[in-house]
Chain A
Amino acid sequence: MPEIASHGGANEHDEIELLRRHLAEVESRLHRFYENDLFATLYWRIDGAVLGANENFLRMTGYSREDVRAGRLNWSAMTPPEYWAADEDARRQIRELGYHRPYEKEFLRKDGTRMWGLFSAATWQDTRNEGVSFILDITARRQAEQLAARALAHSENVTLQLRTVLNNMAERLYAFDAEGRLLLANEAARQAQGGRPISSLSELHERLEVMSLDGHTLPLASWPSNRLLRGERPRGEEVLLYFKASGIRQVVSCNGAPVRDRDGRIMLAVLTTIDITERVRAESELRRSKERLELAADVAKLGEWEVNLLDRSATRSLQHARIFGYADASESWSLGRFLDHVLPELRGETLRHIQNIILTGHGDFETEIRRVDGETRWIWVRGQAWPDAGEPTRLFGTVMDITQSKRTAQALLQSEKLATVGRMASTIAHEINNPLEAIGNAIYLAATDPGTSEQAHKYLELAANELERVNHITRQTLAFHRGSLRPAPVELAACVDDVLNLFGPRLQSRGVMLEKRFRQVPNVIVNRSEVAQILANLLSNALDATPRLGRILLRVAPTVLGDGSLGVRLTVADTGCGIPQSNRQRIFEPFFTTKEVVGTGLGLWVTRQLTEKQGAKIQLRSRANFGTVFSLVFHNVDAVAVNTPGIVQS
Chain B
Amino acid sequence: MFVKPKVYVVDDEAYLANSISALLRHEGYDVSTFYDGSDVVEHVPDVAPVLMVTDYSMPKMDGMKLTRWMREHYPECRVIMFSANLHLLPREASGLPDNPHFMMLAKPLSPVSLVAAVKAMTEDTYEHVKVG
Q: A interface vs B, CB < 8 Å?
A: 429-430, 433-438, 440-445, 448, 468, 471, 474-475, 478, 482, 484-486, 488, 644-650
Chain A residues with CB under 8 A of B110: 440, 468, 471, 650
A-B contact pairs, 26 of them (CB 8 A): A433-B84, A433-B107, A434-B13, A434-B15, A435-B15, A437-B20, A440-B111, A442-B19, A443-B111, A445-B26, A448-B26, A475-B106, A478-B85, A482-B85, A484-B87, A486-B94, A488-B94, A644-B97, A646-B96, A648-B103, A648-B104, A648-B117, A650-B106, A650-B109, A650-B113, A650-B114
Minimum CB–CB distance from B95 to chain A (whole Å) comes to 10
Q: How far is the CA of A468 from the CA of B113 in the complex (A)?
A: 12
3 tightest A-B CB contacts, nearest first: A646-B97, A444-B111, A485-B87
Say whether, besides A646-B104, A650-B113, A486 and B26 are in contact (CB < 8 Å). no
Minimum CB–CB distance from A613 to chain B (whole Å) comes to 15
Minimum CB–CB distance from B49 to chain A (whole Å) comes to 20
CB < 8 Å: which of A435, A445, A647 contacts B22?
A: A445
Chain A residues with CB under 8 A of B59: none
Chain B residues with CB under 8 A of A645: 97, 100, 103
Smallest CB-CB separation from A483: which chain B residue? B87
Minimum CB–CB distance from B44 to chain A (whole Å) comes to 27
Q: How far is the CA of A441 from the CA of B16 in the complex (A)?
A: 9
Which of A430, A438, A448 neighbours the largest number of chain B CB atoms within 10 Å of its CB?
A438
- Indicate if the CB atoms of A486 and B108 lie closer than 8 Å: no
Mostly, the A contact residues are: helix
Q: How far is the CA of A648 from the CA of B114 in the complex (A)?
A: 11
B98 in contact (CB, < 8 A): yes
Q: How far is the CA of A434 from the CA of B16 in the complex (A)?
A: 7
Chain A residues with CB under 8 A of B23: 441, 444-445
- Indicate if the CB atoms of B105 and A650 lie closer than 8 Å: yes
Smallest CB-CB separation from B11: which chain A residue? A434
- Indicate if the CB atoms of A647 and B97 lie closer than 8 Å: yes
Smallest CB-CB separation from A431: which chain B residue? B84
Q: How far is the CA of A444 from the CA of B103 in the complex (A)?
A: 23
Chain B residues with CB under 8 A of A644: 97-98
B47 in contact (CB, < 8 A): no
Q: How far is the CA of A650 from the CA of B112 in the complex (A)?
A: 10
Chain B residues with CB under 8 A of A435: 15-16
Q: How far is the CA of A649 from the CA of B108 in the complex (A)?
A: 10
Minimum CB–CB distance from A246 to chain B (whole Å) comes to 66
- Indicate if the CB atoms of A486 and B87 lie closer than 8 Å: yes
Minimum CB–CB distance from B80 to chain A (whole Å) comes to 10
- Indicate if the CB atoms of B108 and A433 lie closer than 8 Å: yes
Q: How far is the CA of A443 from the CA of B19 in the complex (A)?
A: 10
B3 in contact (CB, < 8 A): no
Which of A448, A488, A646 neighbours the largest number of chain B CB atoms within 10 Å of its CB?
A646
- Indicate if the CB atoms of B84 and A430 lie closer than 8 Å: yes
B86 in contact (CB, < 8 A): yes
CB < 8 Å: which of A437, A443, A482, A647 contacts B104?
A: A647
Q: How far is the CA of A10 from the CA of B106 in the complex (A)?
A: 188
Q: How far is the CA of A440 from the CA of B20 in the complex (A)?
A: 10
- Indicate if the CB atoms of A441 and B111 lie closer than 8 Å: yes
Q: How far is the CA of A444 from the CA of B108 in the complex (A)?
A: 14
B1-59 interface with A by 8 A CB criterion:
13, 15-16, 19-20, 22-23, 26
Q: How far is the CA of A132 from the CA of B104 in the complex (A)?
A: 157
Which of A444, A468, A484 neighbours the largest number of chain B CB atoms within 10 Å of its CB?
A444
Chain A residues with CB under 8 A of B105: 648, 650
Mostly, the B contact residues are: helix
Chain B residues with CB under 8 A of A474: 108
Say whether, besides A486-B94, A647-B86, A437 and B26 are in contact (CB < 8 Å). no
Q: How far is the CA of A448 from the CA of B108 in the complex (A)?
A: 20
Q: How far is the CA of A74 from the CA of B42 in the complex (A)?
A: 158
Q: How far is the CA of A281 from the CA of B96 in the complex (A)?
A: 69
- Indicate if the CB atoms of A438 and B94 lie closer than 8 Å: no
Q: B interface vs A, CB < 8 Å?
A: 13, 15-16, 19-20, 22-23, 26, 84-87, 94, 96-98, 100, 103-114, 117
Chain A residues with CB under 8 A of B86: 482, 485, 647
Q: How far is the CA of A443 from the CA of B16 in the complex (A)?
A: 13
Q: How far is the CA of A434 from the CA of B12 in the complex (A)?
A: 11
Chain B residues with CB under 8 A of A442: 19
Minimum CB–CB distance from A599 to chain B (whole Å) comes to 30
Chain A residues with CB under 8 A of B94: 486, 488
Q: How far is the CA of A540 from the CA of B94 in the complex (A)?
A: 33
Chain A residues with CB under 8 A of B16: 434-435, 437-438
Minimum CB–CB distance from B22 to chain A (whole Å) comes to 6
Smallest CB-CB separation from B12: which chain A residue? A434
Q: How far is the CA of A437 from the CA of B108 in the complex (A)?
A: 6
- Indicate if the CB atoms of A434 and B112 lie closer than 8 Å: no
Smallest CB-CB separation from B113: which chain A residue? A650
Chain A residues with CB under 8 A of B108: 433-434, 436-437, 440, 471, 474-475
Chain B residues with CB under 8 A of A486: 87, 94
Chain A residues with CB under 8 A of B26: 445, 448
Minimum CB–CB distance from B82 to chain A (whole Å) comes to 9
Chain A residues with CB under 8 A of B117: 648, 650
Q: How far is the CA of A485 from the CA of B13 in the complex (A)?
A: 25
Q: How far is the CA of A648 from the CA of B97 in the complex (A)?
A: 10
- Indicate if the CB atoms of A438 and B109 lie closer than 8 Å: no
Chain B residues with CB under 8 A of A437: 16, 19-20, 107-109
- Indicate if the CB atoms of B107 and A646 lie closer than 8 Å: no
Chain A residues with CB under 8 A of B114: 441, 650
Which of B20, B22, B87, B108 neighbours the largest number of chain A CB atoms within 10 Å of its CB?
B108
Q: How far is the CA of A468 from the CA of B117 in the complex (A)?
A: 18
CB < 8 Å: which of A445, A478, A650 contacts B84?
A: A478
Minimum CB–CB distance from B26 to chain A (whole Å) comes to 6
Q: How far is the CA of A647 from the CA of B100 in the complex (A)?
A: 12
Which of B23, B26, B84, B105 neighbours the largest number of chain A CB atoms within 10 Å of its CB?
B84
Q: How far is the CA of A437 from the CA of B110 in the complex (A)?
A: 6
Minimum CB–CB distance from A230 to chain B (whole Å) comes to 86
Chain A residues with CB under 8 A of B13: 434, 438
Q: How far is the CA of A486 from the CA of B22 in the complex (A)?
A: 35
Q: How far is the CA of A438 from the CA of B19 in the complex (A)?
A: 6
Chain B residues with CB under 8 A of A444: 23, 111-112
Q: How far is the CA of A207 from the CA of B104 in the complex (A)?
A: 86
Q: How far is the CA of A471 from the CA of B112 in the complex (A)?
A: 13
Minimum CB–CB distance from A426 to chain B (whole Å) comes to 9
Chain A residues with CB under 8 A of B97: 644-647
| 19 extra interface residue pairs, beta carbon distance < 8 Å, beyond A430-B85, A646-B104 | A435-B16, A437-B16, A437-B19, A438-B16, A438-B19, A440-B111, A443-B111, A445-B23, A468-B110, A482-B85, A482-B86, A485-B87, A486-B87, A645-B103, A647-B104, A647-B106, A649-B106, A650-B105, A650-B106
- Indicate if the CB atoms of A441 and B22 lie closer than 8 Å: yes
Q: How far is the CA of A444 from the CA of B97 in the complex (A)?
A: 29
Q: How far is the CA of A488 from the CA of B96 in the complex (A)?
A: 13
Chain A residues with CB under 8 A of B98: 644, 646
Q: How far is the CA of A484 from the CA of B85 in the complex (A)?
A: 11
Minimum CB–CB distance from B67 to chain A (whole Å) comes to 14
